[in-house]
Amino acid sequence: MGFEIPDWLRYEMLERLRKGRAFINHNPRAVWGIALASGFILFLILISILSGPSRPNVEVSKKAWFYDLNTAKLFKGKANQDGPIKAPSGPLPNGQPAGVKAHVFTYVNDPNENDLIIGYLEMPDPNFAQKTDSLETMIAERSDWGLGKLLRRVDDKEWVPATSSLGKAIMHEATKRDSHGRIPTYYTPK
C-alpha cells in the first residue's frame, strides 16, 4: 500500500497551480522581469565563483634552523642543506661538521628567542644507500618521509631512524599540545 495524497491537499495544490498559471497568463511582463532578474543574479554568482578569491602566496623560506652540536645553540643555514654542515664553532672532535638540521616550533604568534622550542634534530643516515633506479623505489621513498633520516631530541645521545617507532614518537612529542591546549607551529628563521 503506497502513500496517497489526501484529497484536501491535492485540491489545494491544484488550486495554487491554477492561480499561478492565471498570474503568468495575465502578467507576462512580471514573469519576464523575474526571469531576467534571476538570470542576472545567476550570472553574478557564476562570475564570483569562477573568479574566486585569489590564492595566498605561500612564501617558502630560503633559510632553515641548524643546531651546533658543540655549543648547543641554533644558527641559520640554507634550507636546501640537509646537514651535517659546517657550524660556527667548527668541527666535532672526530672531524665531522657539527651543524645538524633543527626542527624549531613555537606556541606564540610573534616569538622571541625564549619562545622557540627545538622539537628534534635531523640528519641523513650515513648507512642508508639511496636507490632511485626504479619507479617502485621512488614511490616508496616519497610515501615514507623519514626514509634515510635519523632523529634525536636535543638531550638524547643516540640517533634513531625517523621511520622507527621511537623516531615517530619523537616527532609526535614535538608537535603535541602544551598545558594551555595550544598547538605548536613550525617556525622558520627570518
In tens, the pLDDT along 35-68 reads: 999 999 999 999 888 887 777 777 788 899 999 9
Quote the CA–CA distance of 50 and 38 in Å, as a whole number. 18
Q: For position 110, what pLDDT does the model report? A: 84
Q: What number is the average pLDDT over the span 140-159?
A: 80
Burial of 113 (0-12, 13-18, 19+ CB in 10 A): exposed
Give 76's pLDDT tier (boundaries 50, 70, 90).
very high
Quote the CA–CA distance of 138 and 161 in Å, as a whole number. 19
Give 129's pLDDT tier (boundaries 50, 70, 90).
low
Strand partners, 43: none
DSSP labels for 41-76?
A: HHHHHHHHHHH-PPPPPPPPPSEEEEEETTTTEEEE
Mean pLDDT score of the chain: 86
Give 102's pLDDT tier (boundaries 50, 70, 90).
very high
Nearest alpha carbon to residue 100 among 111, 86, 89, 90:
86
Quote the CA–CA distance of 110 and 113 in Å, as a whole number. 10
Lowest pLDDT segment from 90-94, 118-122, 125-129: 125-129
Burial 2-35 (b: 16+ CB within 10 A, else e): eeeeeeeeeeeeeeeeeeeeeeeeeeeeeeeeee
Q: What number is the average pLDDT over the span 90-98?
A: 91
From residue 129, alpha-carbon distances to 18, 126, 137, 138 in Å are: 81, 8, 12, 13
Kindly report whether the global pTM for this prediction surpasses the value 0.85: no
Share of the chain above pLDDT 90, in %: 47
Share of the chain above pLDDT 70, in %: 91
